[in-house]
Chain A
């Protein structure tokens, strides 16, 4: 490659004692040329973020570079002093982070924060800085740049904040931009826009981009070259087309195989009998205001009507703020709906009193999104699973024996029941959460983003297990997700939500294959690496 900007040679980074491995990075080598986007792909714990932070020398205090070189414009950053690094950061190498809300200072305006870059690194006058900031904001295509410059971070949407972050990173025309999962926290339509923006700016300015992601869809969308990392080592690197279509290393092959395809598996015959029926379910939030005046009213769920056939899976997809999680919480009565009926096995669930809900709750159970937050950190795994039956009057010994069975059912070793949640991995915790929900032998399972926090390969395993359990236990599932690829894999029926309303629903194959509503079409078009994922054969999980 001509005109190499950054060369990483045999870089190793040591972890403090007591970590799960001795080195976060062991001998990583890669290079990036000008006008090139290199994607570093790997699952959580692969060391991809540590690598980016090591280049910027932003490692936490106990973590240190143990060996190797980071050559940027002829200088070795691995051994550069702090003063030297400060000159490189921002001006030579800029970085954008995953969560634009926490990366921006909430107490200062956007314009101020971008202007700071010029104040620190240049001698420009206040007026010039202001003009430059405005030009930058125009460049990243924020609507109403002048207004955005005066806004505080919380006044912008997630996508606009990420645009502001990009403007800040590009302020001094750095030669290298490091982007650490910059679109992971964004909705799919916003993600598509941001990816397009990064690609465009990069082409125009001939910046080298080191793009860190876990998503092969994003890779297919943006990368020129791909570096695959596992356990702190580079297992394979090469041009994007080769990597996507002819991966050599078994780990790369496994990762690509785990990318969910966008085509739905052939439809199953559905039961005509409906186990769960939602009729005009609504939930409205009111906040602020005095005696009803000036109050802000949010219609989180607007008159939603859906049916779930017995033994089927109903997917509810939508972006953040679409009301899908509120709907899920209404169904299990964590939130009381304002109106409408939720009929489960002939009983109107929405009209039951709190006490009745407590008694009837064994018919409908929920699996939560965050495998770290959804388990009480102070209870043993076995207790967590046995808890439900014990609450409903099953003797302790019997509940514990049943929990053992459930552990086997979800693919965990019953000998691990004495361990605390933090001793399990994310995927294992999600299995515990599933076992806990299944302990009450529910008829309907509501899974709220149940696989969204997991790595692709783990995600595929959990989905496969859900599929098997559905068959074996005759479960009916309401599956809430923002990821259409996941929905395509497991759902028989799909409902697309936007602003609290269901805009389109029907069989998964029809909704994905022939979307009718403009919003569904936009969602499908925004999926990163759309052609790549569509080209994959549907796997029958």
Chain B
């Protein structure tokens, strides 16, 4: 309750939450506002925004409704952002927890693997994964998740290393708890807040990664995603710049919303850090 109150005390966090709710509302209402397939032909190609009341945000180079694609694109961005973040955080927390708790050779092994992933640029690894496994929505989401786990893993490991020798963990051990009970029941709940905050960064980056992939026309072409729309608009960028700019703004606002919410969570969960 205290945390919720602290969260709403920050105007930036409230704005972020509002923006995020708008994006969620767009995703939910897409099917109801635009019952037709957003990728089907709707009208004349390249109508400028606000010039035709039927196509409020105009049409793209193949005559598809941009507004419909933006609404449906919100679904894809949230889906990829959410699921990829979940994958990254679950892998990261598991690896970080074991490395941090056990230390020694377990830590060395797991951290070398993590470093192997970290030394490769995220995006290059993502390209390789998509090139090998194909670019359907599922593979893209999983691939984004797989390239994003090292940072949460390192964060979790650091938290576990500082928590594992606390007296309350030792107390649990003297009570006769098993390692898994100590990891999941005692340490993890205390290690989670910074990881949750960091998850917002992972989510923002996931959305950007998918867009970048789509911009290179390597994402799933059969879904209406913001990145795909930007990729399409590339061909007419110099004259009909709005085709790329509108989804670009949508991405900007979503990433901003997620980051503001993350910052707000950080301040709400770690109140002492903020007052300085």
Where the two chains meet, the residues of A that have a C-beta atom closer than 8 Å to any C-beta of B are 61-62, 329, 332, 334, 357-359, 361-362, 365-366, 368-370, 373-378, 387-388, 391-392, 433, 436-437, 440
Contact = CB atoms under 8 A, between A and B. Distances in A.
Interface of B is mostly: helix
A391 B275 contact: no
B167 A391 contact: no
A361 B168 contact: no
A436 B167 contact: no
B168 A391 contact: no
Contacts of B175: 361, 365, 387-388, 391, 436, 440
B167 A368 contact: yes
A370 B275 CA distance: 26
Nearest to B181: A391
A375 B175 CA distance: 13
Interface of B: 166-168, 170-178, 181, 186, 189-190, 275
A437 B174 CA distance: 9
Contact of B167 (A358, A362, A369, A440): A369
A61 B275 CA distance: 9
A359 B174 CA distance: 10
A376 B168 contact: yes
A260 to B, nearest CB: 24
A358 B178 CA distance: 8
A294 to B, nearest CB: 21
A374 B167 CA distance: 4
A378 B176 contact: no
Q: Which 7 A-B pairs have the closest CB atoms?
A: A374-B167, A388-B175, A361-B176, A368-B167, A376-B168, A373-B167, A358-B176
Given A61-B275, A376-B168, A391 B190 contact: no
B171 A374 contact: yes
Given A388-B175, A433-B171, A376 B275 contact: no
A365 B181 CA distance: 18
A338 to B, nearest CB: 18
A374 B176 contact: no
B275 A62 contact: yes
Nearest to A442: B174
Contacts of A369: 167
B190 A378 contact: yes
Contacts of B170: 329, 334, 366, 368, 374
Given A376-B186, A378-B190, A368 B171 contact: yes
A154 to B, nearest CB: 20
B177 A377 contact: no
16 contacts: A61-B275, A62-B275, A329-B170, A358-B178, A359-B176, A361-B174, A361-B175, A368-B167, A373-B166, A374-B171, A375-B168, A378-B189, A378-B190, A387-B172, A391-B176, A437-B174
